Amino acid sequence: MGSPVIVNAAAQANKTIDAAAAKEGATAAHVVQAAKDAIAHVAAQGNAVYDSANQSRIDLKHQAENAWTQHKVIVISVAVSVAAAIAETGATGPQDLGKVMKSAMQKLVGKNADGKRVNQMVRAKLGG
């Protein structure tokens, strides 16, 4: 089924053509001109619907790109913070997990870092 806007425009176009044909003294030229005008109106409505849908698609694409960029920034921030925390605490193995987590999470305050993911990265770096 078509867009309600286009369906309504087409229905209005049919009414316009019928009205032109019903006028007393209407010629074929009048009816043809009314049909051309109606078709142009329906096409304009279709273009407006297409433009709106296309803009929505573009907006969604930008939102997805922004979300992905934010995700990458967080992942990089976590990696940098974990590396710095390991260096600062002198951690050498899984037994130092608590010290590293405390230091890393302090560095990540306000950066929307998920503690579970930070923990996974710390464990991976410390071999635990």
45 pLDDT band, cuts 50/70/90, is confident
2 pLDDT band, cuts 50/70/90, is low
> Which pLDDT score is estimated for 79?
93
Torsion from C-alpha of 23, 26, 30, 31, nearest 10 degrees = 70
The reported pTM is 0.56
Torsion from C-alpha of 110, 112, 113, 115, nearest 10 degrees = 90
